[in-house]
Structure 1
C-alpha cells in the first residue's frame, strides 16, 4: 500500500506541482482538494494501492462529484501521448484549476517535458492575465495551453492574446463540446486549435481532433462511446458498484463507458452528445446536443446551452440559453426547425449577461435548467 496525501488547491500550483512530482516518482499518492462548495466531504483513506498515483475529483455538471483513482502509469502515459501528438515537448501556460484533471495534466506534461509551467494570475482568467503569462514563457522552447471554449472565446476577442496564441505549438480545447464556429475563428486567425476529448476516467484527453492518441482505443457499443487503453482509471474510490457499471475489461483492454453517444468509423470519432441528453417531446426523441450545434452556428448564439423544461402538453420542451444581446433569436430558432424538424425548435431563447459556470469553466447546467424552468415565455 501507498500513503495518500491531500494538498489544497489553494496552496498554489507550485505546491501541487511538487506533490505531483513526488507522486509520479513513487512517493505518496496525491489528492488535490478543491475547497469548493459541493465537493465530496467524505474522508479519504490513509492509503491506496501501490500502483495508484493520483485521485481526482470529477467536475460533473450534475450529481455528486466522484473520486477517480488513476494509476501512476496512466498519468504518465497520458502525458507522453499528448507530447507526441502535439509534436514534442512544450512549456505550458496553466489556465485551468489544478484540482481537475485538465489542470493536473498541464502539470504532468510539464514534468514530463522538464519545463516550467506559468500560471495565469490568481485574479481570474482574462485576456490581459493570459497575455501576461504568455509573455513570461521562455523564448527558446515551444509553448502550449489547455483551455475550455469560453476561455478561447475570450482570447479571440483580444488582439494581443490572439497574437500570443499564433506563436503556440498547440491550443488544446476541451471540457465540453467546442462550437465549430469558435474553432473556425481560431484557425482563421492562424491559431492551431486541437479539440481534446476525454475525462478524468481516461486521465484527460485521449482523443485529439477525433483521432486516438498514444495507446488509446475507441469503440462504439450500442451507440455508446467507450474508451480503452493505458490511460484508463482503476475506478471510483470507495464505490465498487459504480466502478463495475462504468468500467470493464475485454480482450485484454480496460474500457471506460463514457455515456456519450457517437460514431466511430475505425479512424475518427464523432461524439454527438450525452446519451442522457435525449428528451422525449410529444413522443419524439430530441437530442439537446444537436440543437446546441445548430444554434451555435447562428449569430449571437455561439455559447448556446440547451436544457429541457417540463411542459404540460408535450412532456418536455427544449429551451436555449445564450449570453449577450439578441441578434435575431427568431431566425436562430427557425434554423433549428429547418435543420432538425419543427419538434426540435427551442420553445424560447433566454438571454443572460453571462452564463453561470463551474470552476472548471463548463456551463453549470443544473443552474441553467433551474433558471429556464423559472423563466416563462416572454420572461
Structure 2
C-alpha cells in the first residue's frame, strides 16, 4: 500500500512532477480543481501499490466516481495512442488536468519524454490557443486533445482569423472526445483541412481507446445486451472505496479476460466500426416503446443550425415520457416550422414515431459542466419547471 496525495490541477508543473513520480512507483496522485499545490489526502487512506492516478468522473448522468488507474494502464494507453498517431510527439494541454483527457496529455508527454505546452489564462479563447500552439516544437509531431465546444469555437474563429486557422493547421492530429461531436462540426473541420480524430473512451479506460470507431492496439470491444463493453491493458482497477460499483462495472470472463461494462448503447458494424447509439440511462419508455435519446439527438443535430442541440426527456401525461430539444437561439431554431423539421429528421433517420420530439426550447446559453459537456440534469430540471431564460 502507498499514500494518495491530492494535487491542484491548476499547478500543471506540480501535477506533472507528481505524475512522473507516481508512474515511477511514488505516491498516487488525485488531481483536483482549485488553487494550491500538494495536499495530503488524509481521509482517503491508502491505495494499492500499482495505482498511480485517481480521477473523479464528471457525474454528467450519475453520481461522481473516483476511478483508480494503475501506472501500467496509463502507460499502455499512452503507447497505444502513439501507435495510432505519428509516434511520440509534443502536446498542447487545453483541458483541465483533473479530467482524464487532460491528465493523459501529461502522461503521454512524460512517456514521450517531451514537455507539454500549457494553454494560458482562464477559460478557453481561440486567440490564446493560437498563441500557445506557436510555442510547439516544429521538429516533433504536434498534438492536442479537445472537446467539441472548444473545436467549435476554434473553427468559427478560423473563418475570420488567419492566425487561428494557421494554428490549427500546425497540429498533426487533434483528438476530439468527451462527448459526441455534431456532424456539422466534423464537416466544417474537414473543410478547413484539419486532421481530427474522434475518440471514444472514459476514465475507466484511461481515456480514449477507440479512434474513429476502431479499437486501438490491444483493445477489444463487444456488445452485450446492447451495451458496449471494452477490454484491454488500459482498464482501471475499479473505484476508490466503492467495491459494489466496481463489481457492477468490471466483469471477468471464464478465460480470465476482464471487461469494463460502459453505460453506452452501441453496435459494431461488419467492418469492425463501433457506433454509439446513446447512453443506457438515457433510454426512455414512450408509449411503451424504448427510445434512445442519443439517437434522437444525432438525428436532430443533422439539421443545419442544430449542431449543438441537446435532447432531454420531458414528462407526458399520455405517453409517459417524450423527447424534447433544447438549443441556443439562432435563426434556424427560431423558425416557426423548426419543430416540424426536427420531427422530419427523426423520421428520415428511421426512428419510430415515439422518438419524435414534441417540444423545442430556445435558450441564450447551454449550461455546461466543467468538462465542457452539456449539463443534462440542469436542462431536464429546467424543462420540468418550465422556466424562461432571461
TM bin (shorter chain): over 0.9
In structure 2, the partner of 1:55 is 54
What is the root-mean-square deviation in Å for CA atoms of aligned residues?
2.0
CA distance in 1: counterparts of 2:232 and 2:257, whole angstroms: 6
8 A Cα contact 2:311 2:326, kept in partner: yes
Q: State the Cα deviation string for residues 167-197 of structure 1 (Å, max 9, x = none).
A: 2111101101122221121112111110110
Q: Superposition pairs for residues 58-137 of structure 1, below 5 Å?
A: 58-137=57-136
Question: What's the secondary structure of 1:157's corresponding residue?
Answer: helix
Partner residue in 2 for 1:259: 263
Q: Which residue of the partner structure matches residue 374 of structure 1?
A: 385
Contact 1:263 1:271 in 2 (8 A): yes
Greater CA deviation, 234-243 or 27-36? 27-36
Once the two structures are TM-superposed, the CA of residue 378 in structure 1 deviates from its matched residue by 12
Q: Answer yes or no: is the 8 Å Cα contact 1:58–1:67 preserved in 2.
A: yes
8 Å Cα contact 1:81-1:214 kept in structure 2: yes
Aligned to 2:28: 29
| CA separation of 1:35 and 1:68: change in aligned 2, threshold 3 A | same
Cross-structure match for 2:345: 335
Whether the 8 Å contact between 1:300 and 1:324 is mirrored in structure 2 is no
Deviations 1:269-322 (A, max 9, x none): 111111221111122221111111111111210001100011112111111111
Provide the secondary structure at the position in 1 that maps to 2:25. Answer: coil
User: Helix, strand or coil: the match of 2:44?
Assistant: coil
User: Which position in structure 2 is the counterpart of 1:8?
Assistant: 8
Of the three residues 188, 192, 196, the one matched with 2:191 is 188
Q: How far apart are the structure 2 equivalents of 1:332 and 1:269?
A: 26
C-alpha separation in 2, matches of 1:262 and 1:63: 19
**Could you tell me how far apart the structure 2 residues matched to 1:153 and 1:92 are?**
20
Structure 2: how far apart are the matches of 1:378 and 1:152? Answer: 26
Equivalent residue of 2:285, what SS?
Answer: strand
Mapped pair 1:278 → 2:290:
no
Deviates more, 1:244-253 or 1:70-79: 244-253
Cα distance in structure 1, aligned partners of 2:384 and 2:305: 22
Would the aligned equivalents of 1:227 and 1:257 in 2 still touch at CA under 8 Å? yes
Deviation at 1:50, TM superposition (A): 0.9
Answering whether residue 243 of structure 2 is matched by residue 240 of structure 1, we say yes
1:354 corresponds to: 365
Aligned to 1:87, what secondary structure does the other structure show?
coil
> Normalising by the residue count of structure 2, what TM-score does the alignment of the two structures yield?
0.91
Q: Secondary structure at the match of 1:23?
A: helix
Alpha-carbon distance, 1:35 to partner: 4.7
| Separation in structure 2 between the aligned mates of residue 169 and residue 162 of structure 1, nearest angstrom | 14
TM-score, normalised to structure 1, is 0.94
Q: Deviations over 1:12-50 (max 9, x none)?
A: 2111111111101111111112359xxxxx964332111
User: Which runs of 5 or more residues in structure 1 are unaligned?
Assistant: 37-41
Residue 310 of structure 1 pairs with residue 315 of structure 2:
yes
Larger deviation: 306-315 or 337-346? 337-346
The alpha carbon displacement at 1:93 in A equals 1.0
**1:293 pairs with one of 289, 298, 302:** 298
Contact 1:197 1:205 in 2 (8 A): yes
Decide whether the 8 Å contact of 2:86 with 2:141 is kept in 1: no
Unaligned runs of 5+ in 2: 36-40
Give me the whole-angstrom Cα distance separating, in 1, the residues matched to 2:218 and 2:197. Answer: 18
Indicate if the aligned counterparts of 2:342 and 2:357 stay in contact, CA closer than 8 A: no
Paired with 1:261 and 1:374, the residues of 2 have a C-alpha distance of 29
Tell me if 1:345 matches 2:356. Answer: yes
Give me the whole-angstrom Cα distance separating, in 2, the residues matched to 1:346 and 1:376.
19
Separation of aligned partners in 1, 2:186 and 2:372? 17
Mapped partners of 1:352, 1:147: distance in 2? 25
1:162 positional shift? 2.8
Any idea what the Cα deviations from partners look like across 1:332-370, whole Å, max 9, x if unmatched?
A: 333223432433221122112221111111111111111
CA distance in 1: counterparts of 2:26 and 2:388, whole angstroms = 57
